[in-house]
Structure formats: structure tokens, C-alpha cells
Amino acid sequence: MLEKLRNRKKKWKVLTNAARFFGFKKLLKSHDFRVRDSEVFMLSCELGKTLDELPEELQKKLRSAGIKVGEVGRRYRFTLEGAFFLSRNEKKRVYVDRKAEMLFLYGRDVFSSSIQKTSSDVMENDVVFVCNVYGDILGIGRAKYSSEEIKHKGEKVAVENLVDRGEYLRKKKLYSAF
């Protein structure tokens, strides 16, 4: 059964902390968020109201609605779709050149020499959104260095690839969220 996420106090707190960290707090007010087990779904407010009006026996049979944007446990983990919809601002981003874009989509890590720019809030071991020069999110990675150090590392891996949009085509491993 899909429950309103606001009714699950611990999970709601994890999501609001992630919203503050990654900068999507406005979306928490403008959309309805539902949870089934640990999966988080984002719905329009209209769809949320429609679900609330369904008979209870139908609500119990409902498995999902809206877009799966992540999973919540001790921390919030984005799906690729969640990264696209929830990270519309410029927080926790690393921008790569065209060659690194192609390599990242093939599952490779990002070298610091391929990074065009980073947002100033990137710290060591942060989960970051890897973007091309146009700002399109290519995937999710883990920064090895802070934004100040990242350009000075030469030919070292600066961002570890956690999941990228090419994963759908490769299907080497099935992922849920990072």
C-alpha cells in the first residue's frame, strides 16, 4: 500500500534532510510524496488527492503511482529519475567535457582533467550529479575530492561512477537507488 510519506515521521525526516542538503525543499511543498516499503514516489498533488479518494480495498492493492524518485532508509538514495526531477538547482554538480561524458555513459569514472567546473558545495565523498556541459544529468557519482582540490589532481579519478544513464542499455547489473 502506498502511504503518505508525511505520515511516516522517520522517513519524512530523512527526505527533508536530503531536500535541504541537495536543495529540492520547494518540491516537498508542491508535490505529494508516497512510500511503499522503502521506495519513494513523487506524484502531483491532484493525483495524490485522487488516490486518497479511492476505496480502501483499492488503495491496499496499489503498488506504485507517480515516479519512483528514490529509496529511504537511514539515508535517502536517488534513482536516476529522482536525480533528474529533484535536482533542478545547481547543488552538488560536476560538469564534464564531451569525451568524459561519453566515457561516463559507458560506465567509466571521471578524471579530474576532464572536469570543466564544479559547484562550490562539493566535498570529499559527497554523492554528486555528473552533468554534461549543457547541465543534463548523466548519472550519479561519488566525489573523491572537494571542489577546491578537484582541478589540481591531474590524471587521477575525481568522481567514481555509481550509476549512469547508459546502465539501461548495458544491463550488467540491476540497480535501484544510490
Is 93-170 in CATH node 3.40.920.10?
A: no
Domain ranges of the chain: 3-86, 93-170
Mean pLDDT of 155-173: 81
Region 151-157: mean pLDDT is 83
Beta strands in 61-132 (DSSP E): 67-72, 76-78, 93-96, 110-111, 115-118, 127-131
Task: Give the pLDDT of residue 144.
Answer: 95
Q: What DSSP state is assigned to residue 161?
A: E
Q: Say what the pLDDT of residue 8 is.
A: 85
The answer to whether domain 3-86 and domain 93-170 are alike in fold is no
* 172 or 29, higher pLDDT: 29
pLDDT at 178: 60
Q: Give the containing element (helix H, strand E) for 50.
A: helix 45-53
Q: pTM value? A: 0.78
> Region 123-137: what's the mean pLDDT?
92
Task: State phi, psi for 43 to the nearest 5 degrees.
Answer: -130, 160
Find cell 570529499 and name the residue.
124
Q: What is the pLDDT of residue 142?
A: 94
pLDDT confidence tier of residue 78, bands split at 50, 70 and 90: confident
- Per CATH, the architecture of 3-86 is what? Roll (3.10)
Gyration radius of the chain's alpha carbons: 18
Residue 172 confidence class, pLDDT cut points 50, 70, 90:
low
